[in-house]
């Protein structure tokens, strides 16, 4: 078998224009096989255009959020309410899900349950095939509203394999799709691109997948949006099937809610004949009244707006108006596993607003591609390793992709204690490392199990007053030995180079604090 044929068609990469793909191919490989965070972060740091784009965009969106959150004098009460409602819902999730199924069914929506990505995709492909009937060629397609759940299960690629084209209709998702790229943010997926790059992508790619970009397209945002509007319009008007996610699913009434900014969602939700909504089981809310809290928290936290431009609520099909066939696919895909961890389950409160990502100083430096995860930033670093487990190199590195500065918790609209969860996940990674070191026996003393041994030795010194006092004396001896010889440490060899490549370090002092205190004070605190 030649090397080329070992690569599945769906990951052929965009240079392979002869493939039978219907939609632009995303980058090769699966996200879970991504390099460890520090490795990819270094690559991303080397992209000055992206760094500039991210800094500009994140600074703007942070300022907007801060301003609109401060407008409400009951903002902290809303956060507490959001936390409480989600906690209560998750505590009784089994009951609310059954109630949701009953309400959805009563409203004329067909409910499907999927344990994992594979089951979900099989259900969705089956439903689309059923809706398309004997349609052929270009007609074998669906239009999509932006949805994290479908990203998580890699639905577009599953449809592609079944010969069905899934067209992204959110402007930024369109940029990402046409750019053979991956989203780098959950709210603004093309945040890493500037308008010159968007113009190039549109001119190069639009014609291959539908209506070409107008000749002479410039970089004016309005003109770029206009080009997308024309390109998408023919797809909206043609597609018989639309696929959406849902921001909320109301158990009491069987109502689904989509919150969006561009109106592309409204087009998908109303123009198609069949609507399939893919919904994570943690999206359920008990009552319509609960939306009062979340429709304030979500737009202010995410886009920094008082209210988003389009909020669609629908409760099953309406005769003669909009899609006449509606399906909901409720997906678990690791969520019940997260729910079984009393600490880790706090991450399930997440409403995908992205406030934690926008405020994260680590994310701002490297962007979303460094995380090897559909969900980047602080929430991705605690959620993805729970959904996928901490066995892959990238998943084991994600909980460490944070300085624990705590800015994320302060902005989280449902008060997820992200720094605590990052530490909690680090603990899980360490437990895994220790178990492996033990299983490996003597081999475990060597790299890559060195860290547990170093930490154990450090802990022994730090929990023994005698050993610690000896260590402080040794530090002062070092300072004395260096005094007068070196003013400071410049670049040092590995592993100290990690610190000294960009920073100077002062030499240790010649006297520790405890030595000074003993020289100047009696034990009772009186001066000598």
Partner 1 sequence: MTITSPTTQGRPAAGAAGAGKTVALFSTCANDVMFPQAPMATTQLLERLGCRVVFPKKQTCCGQPLVNTGYYDETVPIVRNFAETFAEYDYVVAPSGSCVGAVRHQHQMLADHAGDAGLRRVVDGVVARTYDISEFLIDVLGVEDVGAYFPHVVTYHPTCHSMRVAHVGDRPMRLLQAVRGITIRDLPDADRCCGFGGTFSLKNPDVSVAMAADKARNVASTGAEYLVAGDNLCLLNISGVLRRQHSGILPIHIAEVLASTEEAS
Residues 453-472 that bind partner 1 (CB under 8 A): 455-456, 458-459, 461-465, 468-469, 471-472
- Return the exposure string of 412-451: e unless at least 16 CB atoms fall within 10 Å of the residue's CB, then b: bbbbbbbbebbebbbebbbeebbeebeeeeeebeeeebee
Binding mask 269-288 for partner 1 (x = CB under 8 A): --------------------
The minimum distance between CB 492 and partner 1, in angstroms, equals 12
- Of positions 19, 406, 449, 480, contacts partner 1 by CB under 8 A: 406
Stretch that binds partner 1, among 206-214, 234-242, 263-271, 447-455 (CB under 8 A): 447-455
Q: Of 263 and 516, which CB lies nearer to partner 1 in the complex structure? A: 516
- Of positions 135, 148, 405, 482, contacts partner 1 by CB under 8 A: 405
- Of positions 9, 42, 56, 196, contacts partner 1 by CB under 8 A: 42
Distances (CA, A) of 389 to 146, 331, 394: 26, 17, 10
Which 346-375 positions form the footprint of partner 1 (CB under 8 A)? 361-362, 365-366
Q: Which H or E element spans position 506?
A: strand 505-506
Which 295-314 positions form the footprint of partner 1 (CB under 8 A)? none
Interface with partner 1, residue 15, by CB under 8 A: no
Strand ordering across the sheet containing 255-260:
284-285, 248-250, 255-260, 310-314
- Of positions 11, 475, 480, 482, contacts partner 1 by CB under 8 A: 475
Q: Of 446 and 477, which CB lies nearer to partner 1 in the complex structure? A: 477
Residues 6+ apart with CB under 8 A from 2: none
Stretch that binds partner 1, among 144-152, 243-251, 253-261, 395-403 (CB under 8 A): 395-403
Q: Of 230 and 430, which CB lies nearer to partner 1 in the complex structure? A: 430
The minimum distance between CB 389 and partner 1, in angstroms, equals 16
Q: Of 3 and 519, which CB lies nearer to partner 1 in the complex structure? A: 519
Q: Which of 254, 266, 262 is nearest to 326 (CA)?
A: 254
- Of positions 129, 430, 444, 449, contacts partner 1 by CB under 8 A: 430
User: What SS3 state is found at 173?
Assistant: helix
The minimum distance between CB 296 and partner 1, in angstroms, equals 24
Q: Of 80 and 405, which CB lies nearer to partner 1 in the complex structure? A: 405
Q: Of 16 and 511, which CB lies nearer to partner 1 in the complex structure? A: 511
Q: What beta strand segments (E) does 137-244 contain?
A: 141-144, 165-168, 241-244
Which 108-167 positions form the footprint of partner 1 (CB under 8 A)? none
Q: Of 279 and 355, which CB lies nearer to partner 1 in the complex structure? A: 355
Q: Which of 359, 339, 351 is nearest to 415 (CA)?
A: 351
Which 479-498 positions form the footprint of partner 1 (CB under 8 A)? 488, 490, 495, 498
| Long-range contacts at 133-141 (CB < 8 A, ≥ 24 apart) | 135/240, 138/165, 138/238, 139/238, 139/240, 140/22, 140/164, 140/165, 141/22, 141/165, 141/166, 141/167, 141/235, 141/238, 141/239, 141/241
- Of positions 319, 485, 525, 528, contacts partner 1 by CB under 8 A: 525
Phi-psi bin for 177: left (phi > 0), alpha (psi -120 to 50), beta? alpha
**Cα 487 from Cα 68, distance rounded (Å):** 50
Asked if residues 50 and 192 have their Cβ atoms less than 8 Å apart, the reply is yes
Interface with partner 1, residue 401, by CB under 8 A: yes
Binding mask 409-428 for partner 1 (x = CB under 8 A): xx--------x---x-xxxx
- Of positions 216, 484, 524, 528, contacts partner 1 by CB under 8 A: 524
Q: Of 101 and 346, which CB lies nearer to partner 1 in the complex structure? A: 346
* C-alpha dihedral, 493 to 496 to 499 to 505, nearest 10°: -90
Asked if residues 149 and 280 have their Cβ atoms less than 8 Å apart, the reply is yes
Per DSSP, what are the bridge partners of residue 284?
249
The minimum distance between CB 136 and partner 1, in angstroms, equals 50
Interface with partner 1, residue 509, by CB under 8 A: yes
User: What SS3 state is found at 522?
Assistant: coil
What is the Cα gyration radius of the chain? Answer: 27
Q: Which of 169, 176, 170 is nearest to 190 (CA)?
A: 176
């Amino acid at each position: 078998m030649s090397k080329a044929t070992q690569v599945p068609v769906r990951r052929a990469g965009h240079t392979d224009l002869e493939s039978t793909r219907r939609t632009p191919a995303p980058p090769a490989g699966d996200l879970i096989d991504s390099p460890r965070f520090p490795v990819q972060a270094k690559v991303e740091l080397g992209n000055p255009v992206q760094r500039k784009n991210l800094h500009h965009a994140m600074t703007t969106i942070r300022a907007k959020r801060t301003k609109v959150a401060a407008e409400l004098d009951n903002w902290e009460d809303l956060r507490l309410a959001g936390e409480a409602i989600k906690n209560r819902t998750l505590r009784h999730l089994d009951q609310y899900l059954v109630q949701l199924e009953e309400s959805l069914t009563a409203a004329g929506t067909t409910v499907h349950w999927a344990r994992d990505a594979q089951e979900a995709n099989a259900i969705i492909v089956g439903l689309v095939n059923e809706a398309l009937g004997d349609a052929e060629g270009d007609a074998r397609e669906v239009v999509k509203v932006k949805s994290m759940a479908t990203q998580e299960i890699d639905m577009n690629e599953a449809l592609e394999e079944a010969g069905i084209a899934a067209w992204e209709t959110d402007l930024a998702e369109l940029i990402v799709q046409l750019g053979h790229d991956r989203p780098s943010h959950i709210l603004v997926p093309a945040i890493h691109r500037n308008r010159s790059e968007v113009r190039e992508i549109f001119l190069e790619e639009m014609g291959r997948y539908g209506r070409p970009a107008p000749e002479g397209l410039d970089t004016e945002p309005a003109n770029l949006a206009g080009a997308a509007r024309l390109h998408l319009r023919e797809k909206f008007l043609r597609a018989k099937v639309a696929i959406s996610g849902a921001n909320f699913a109301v158990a009491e009434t069987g109502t689904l809610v989509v919150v969006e900014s561009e109106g592309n969602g409204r087009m998908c939700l109303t123009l198609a004949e069949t609507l399939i909504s893919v919904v994570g089981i943690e999206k359920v809310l008990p009552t319509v009244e609960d939306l009062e809290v979340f429709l304030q928290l979500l737009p202010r936290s995410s886009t920094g707006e008082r209210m988003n431009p389009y909020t669609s609520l629908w409760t099953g099909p309406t005769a003669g108006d909009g899609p006449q066939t509606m399906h909901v696919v409720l997906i678990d895909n690791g969520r019940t596993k997260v729910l079984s961890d009393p600490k880790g389950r706090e991450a399930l409160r997440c409403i995908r607003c992205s406030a934690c990502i926008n405020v994260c100083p680590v994310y701002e430096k490297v962007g979303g591609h460094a995380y090897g995860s559909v969900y980047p930033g602080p929430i991705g670093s605690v959620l993805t390793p729970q959904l996928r487990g901490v066995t892959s190199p990238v998943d084991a590195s994600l909980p460490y992709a944070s300085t624990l500065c705590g800015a994320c918790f302060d902005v989280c609209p449902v008060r997820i204690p992200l720094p605590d969860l990052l530490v909690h996940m680090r603990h899980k990674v360490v437990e895994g490392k220790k178990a492996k070191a033990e299983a490996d026996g003597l081999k475990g003393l060597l790299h890559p199990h060195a860290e547990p041994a170093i930490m154990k030795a450090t802990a022994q010194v730090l929990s023994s007053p005698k050993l610690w006092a000896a260590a402080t004396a040794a530090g002062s001896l070092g300072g004395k030995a260096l005094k007068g010889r070196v003013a400071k440490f410049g670049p040092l060899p590995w592993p100290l180079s990690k610190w000294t490549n960009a920073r100077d370090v002062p030499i240790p002092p010649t006297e520790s604090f405890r030595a000074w205190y003993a020289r100047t004070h009696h034990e009772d605190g009186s001066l000598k």
